[in-house]
């Protein structure tokens, strides 16, 4: 059997939501002995922040994931329900991890900026924007009443530096807004680099290939985690299943598990 899932964002969904469906579809197809089929992403959101058309944005996302490399013909595939995939994928999450770890993201060499000598820590920080504007407290937007504050990140950053005192640790902050919104991170005494309003494919590549990922409550963070290449810290309030071994953080940024 050949299985597939929709890749059409329908002008409402971004990379995170749509790519997690593909990851679960691919992982489950391999685990269950089926073949996987992929149609290119289309009509994705969040291109509006950048000087590209929606078509160019989707092309860049398709090139990043290269799902077509693993794809069989779409002509006779069974299209699966995304909600069913999310449920089944999380049920078998650690079973499909080896298949997802085998996937490689593709980014031009001149866009890569991590140094192997460093421990690169990616911190994804979710903020309220014109396209990310769900008032639900579970979003935990930075700076909001129900969200994460500076101390949350400062505590985990301090703990990570203490654990790896033999190598230089570089904290890479990924978010939206203006650099000035995150200047306070540079006053914490750590080596901090800001990647604010960076092109999403570049940010996602580096989040996925970081040595350590500190997730936001976000599907974009979840994709970086699902690819299984990075040690992950996540809020205890995160709403999807995470791999065994993921470190959970309380509201103070302290490891509880």
- Residue 191 falls inside a structural domain: yes
What's residue 77's pLDDT?
Answer: 86
Mean pLDDT of 26-34: 96
Tell me, yes or no, whether 125 and 93 share the same domain: no
Tell me, yes or no, whether 118 and 234 share the same domain: yes
- Residue 228 falls inside a structural domain: yes
- Residue 14 falls inside a structural domain: yes
133 — pLDDT class (breaks 50, 70, 90): very low
Q: Between 164 and 132, whose confidence is greater?
A: 164
Tell me, yes or no, whether 93 and 117 share the same domain: no
What's residue 13's pLDDT?
Answer: 94
Tell me, yes or no, whether 118 and 199 share the same domain: yes
- Residue 169 falls inside a structural domain: yes
Number of domains in the chain: 2
167 — pLDDT class (breaks 50, 70, 90): confident
Using the 3D structure, point to which of 101, 124, 154 is the last residue of a domain: 101
What's residue 244's pLDDT?
Answer: 96
- Residue 257 falls inside a structural domain: no
Tell me, yes or no, whether 134 and 240 share the same domain: yes
Residue 231 has pLDDT above 70, yes or no: yes
What's residue 51's pLDDT?
Answer: 93
Backbone dihedral angles phi then psi of residue 120, each to the nearest 5 degrees: -95, 115
Residue span of the structural domain in which 120 resides? 113-249
115 — pLDDT class (breaks 50, 70, 90): very high
Instruction: Count other Cβ atoms within 10 Å, centred on residue 42.
Output: 18
Tell me, yes or no, whether 65 and 188 share the same domain: no
Tell me, yes or no, whether 91 and 25 share the same domain: yes
Tell me, yes or no, whether 188 and 229 share the same domain: yes
What's residue 144's pLDDT?
Answer: 55
What's residue 141's pLDDT?
Answer: 66
The whole-angstrom separation of Cα 96 and Cα 29 is 9
Instruction: Count other Cβ atoms within 10 Å, centred on residue 32.
Output: 13
What's the pTM? 0.93
- pLDDT tens sequence across 33-46: 999 999 999 999 98
- pLDDT tens sequence across 177-216: 999 999 999 999 999 999 999 999 999 999 999 999 999 9
Tell me, yes or no, whether 85 and 126 share the same domain: no
76 — pLDDT class (breaks 50, 70, 90): confident
What's residue 88's pLDDT?
Answer: 96
CATH number, domain with residue 210: 3.40.50.2000
- Residue 256 falls inside a structural domain: no
- Residue 107 falls inside a structural domain: no
What's residue 173's pLDDT?
Answer: 97
The chain-wide mean pLDDT, for the chain, equals: 91
- pLDDT tens sequence across 135-154: 555 556 666 565 688 999 99
Tell me, yes or no, whether 178 and 245 share the same domain: yes
Using the 3D structure, point to which of 53, 75, 101 is the last residue of a domain: 101
């Amino acid at each position: 059997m050949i299985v597939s899932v929709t890749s059409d964002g329908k002008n409402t969904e971004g990379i995170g939501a749509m790519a997690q469906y593909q990851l679960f579809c691919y992982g489950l197809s391999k685990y269950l002995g089926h073949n996987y089929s992929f149609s290119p992403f289309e009509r994705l959101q969040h291109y509006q922040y950048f000087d590209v058309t929606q078509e160019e944005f989707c092309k860049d996302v398709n090139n990043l994931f290269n799902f077509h490399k693993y794809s069989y013909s779409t002509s006779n595939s069974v299209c699966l329900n995304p909600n069913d995939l999310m449920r089944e994928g999380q049920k078998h999450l650690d079973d499909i991890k080896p298949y997802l770890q085998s996937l490689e993201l593709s980014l031009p060499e001149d866009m890569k900026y991590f140094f192997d000598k460093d421990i690169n820590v990616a911190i994804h920080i979710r903020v309220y924007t014109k396209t990310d504007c769900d008032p639900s407290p579970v979003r935990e937007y930075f700076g909001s009443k129900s969200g994460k504050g500076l101390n949350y990140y400062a505590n985990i950053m301090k703990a990570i530096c203490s654990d790896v005192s033999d190598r230089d640790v570089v904290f890479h902050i990924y978010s939206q807004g203006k650099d000035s919104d995150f200047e306070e991170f540079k006053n914490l005494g750590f080596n901090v680099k800001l990647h604010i309003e960076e092109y999403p494919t570049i940010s996602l590549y580096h989040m996925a290939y970081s040595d350590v990922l500190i997730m936001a409550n976000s599907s974009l963070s979840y994709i970086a985690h699902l690819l299984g290449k990075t040690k992950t810290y996540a809020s205890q309030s995160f709403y999807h299943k995470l791999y065994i071994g993921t470190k959970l953080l309380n509201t103070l940024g302290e490891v509880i598990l």
